[in-house]
Amino acid sequence: MRMTVTKSVLMQYMKSRMALFSNLTSACEAYDIVGEYVPATNSLNPEKILTDEERKILEQETGVAEVRSALTSWLLTPTPSSSLIKKEGELEFESFENEWAQAWVVITRDSFIHMLGGPEETSELSMTFNLKNGESKVSDNEGRYFLELTEEKSGGLFTFLSSAKKIVFRFGSDAKREEWKDAFAI
């Protein structure tokens, strides 16, 4: 259930963030794009969506009284980083078939690793890993740098039915491995 909910939330977040802030130059463009994702906004008049106080602030910021013109002339600043995400990026990992594959790895502040695989538009959540009870081990081999994470076996009545999860990441340099090792630390 956690994986399904997490996948859904991450995918919605990534799609809306990309659509809204990837190549936009004005708030008006963002308004038009939001209209595609939230059908109710298609029928909204820009003049009616702002309170009087918001209209005054917009006019002060842009120097334009008419709302649509003000939105068109108002340049957006880049979005702040998410407070939930501790680190994210593409990493090489050893797959279940013992082959090296690429995945988008997201480390959240609540000490979970979420790995997404596949093309960006159709990324699937392939694994969620709890770092709270995990261990890490570093190794080197033939100029490659490895970091192995092992999640402690879950407790409870059916402990014998599960096994500890293990992920092995491969890095091109010791510095990159140490950077990620620090991010994996709790």
Mean pLDDT of the chain: 75
In the predicted model, is pLDDT for residue 53 greater than 70? yes
Q: Does this model's pTM top 0.85?
A: no
14/84 Cα distance (integer angstroms): 13
Tell me whether strands 112-117 and 124-130 are parallel, antiparallel or unpaired: antiparallel
Beta bridge partners of 129: 113
Residues in the chain, how many?
Answer: 186
105/103 Cα distance (integer angstroms): 6
Instruction: Give 52's contacts (C-beta < 8 A, 6+ positions apart).
Output: none
Q: What CATH number belongs to 85-184?
A: 2.30.29.30
Count Cβ neighbours within 10 Å for each residue of 114-151 and write b for 16 or more, e otherwise. bbbbeeeeebebbbbbebeebeeeeeeeeeebebebbb
44/134 Cα distance (integer angstroms): 50
Q: pLDDT at position 184, please?
A: 82
In the predicted model, is pLDDT for residue 41 greater than 50? no
135/132 Cα distance (integer angstroms): 9
Q: What is the pLDDT of residues 134-152, one digit of tens each?
A: 788 888 887 788 888 888 7
Domain boundaries, the chain: 2-73, 85-184
Helix or strand (DSSP H, E) at 90: strand 85-94
Helix, coil or strand: residue 172: coil
